[in-house]
Structure 1
């Protein structure tokens, strides 16, 4: 922990300092010399310490100016390291990467910013090689959920559509300072290649809220407001299902049907 730094609640700061845990997380990430990393909210540099020496370039984006000063003092002599004092949501990944040279993202994310940061990632998914994020456990389960779990919902479908999602480790709240009220999970996202699927994704985003806003209702009524019975028969979808009983492919089939029929 940085001496005399008091964690700021408004930034959602909960720091990791346990050496065994940090080493475990670094091993999951498995950095190599050809990697380009961007760390979101490095904080006191706990995880940074275990990773920055390996990749060819390491960019850390930190909003807290006090922590930026500490990080600059700590890593200023490292040629491959750069610290940016900015809100991550104002960063354009095109400044660092493109589809042929994707970037790796990591971060112990503030719980209250998990959704907007993940959406920010998804909007630039073609420039991302992979993502390793620490989330609130409940949020992580929603990301990784499927039709067999209670956590399944809109977020699950979007995550699974765009990425292969894996919860790598659960992390108890006592590993953080200050100690939060909930446990966390460390999650890996590996983007799927979905070239020329812009309309499909756009349609999926329209369909999901319409269905999951009536999560416990059968899908028949909602879908018949969007499609004709002929359209629905074409994909062979059981209209007696509830949205939380549909698998990812069935949602994709609907998105393609909407695209096909305008």
Structure 2
């Protein structure tokens, strides 16, 4: 089968979500035959189910899905090669509508890489990556442990070249404490540094080898978002001053045009944060 290489760009967003404005990508190729059933693309809700990381679903019973009513589609997403719709549960017609879309990112070793974006009626915008294998009328779906809701790990850019999957995740100040492995004061996300789903300050770039362990990703760099207005709104616990000091350090780096940090440079950034922002407490 043909290998597919597609790039998706989902600009960072903060306090709102417009499904028609977040995607900037080239249209994908024709849907592979393996991802068609009954002359239609496979239902996106087959992938978008909160179950175990590995599952097998039957296409003959529509993946065991509850009945829904399709209420619309995003022309913007469809034009970008996505498959999906906005919907309501059939027995909850008065409820807020949800949405579910997916796009094929690549193919390697009999598995298609699928990017899914979804919402179940709230303010969240969830993104996930799946590896999908078709065996007659059975779908074997493996959920990779990457993705999340907006700034809490939401996917920003996803590409695949043969067995190498590259992606970037939106991150918050609180995420710097964990991904850097440099937190001697044992500071806590939310308590000491903001970590809300609308608190994006950077993207973290990763690579994973699908031929090795597809559940393990290696951090390659950090890219700061040049957004002083958002930084000024992040306050966390004002009594400690951790957040204000973090914000200023980020602004200092941006002013010096140090917007992209290698893993080593991330360590230097956190050393400066620990020295300048945490010693007084």
Q: TM-score surpassing 0.5?
A: no
Higher helix share: 1
Superposition TM-score, scaled by structure 1 size: 0.28
Superposition TM-score, scaled by structure 2 size: 0.27
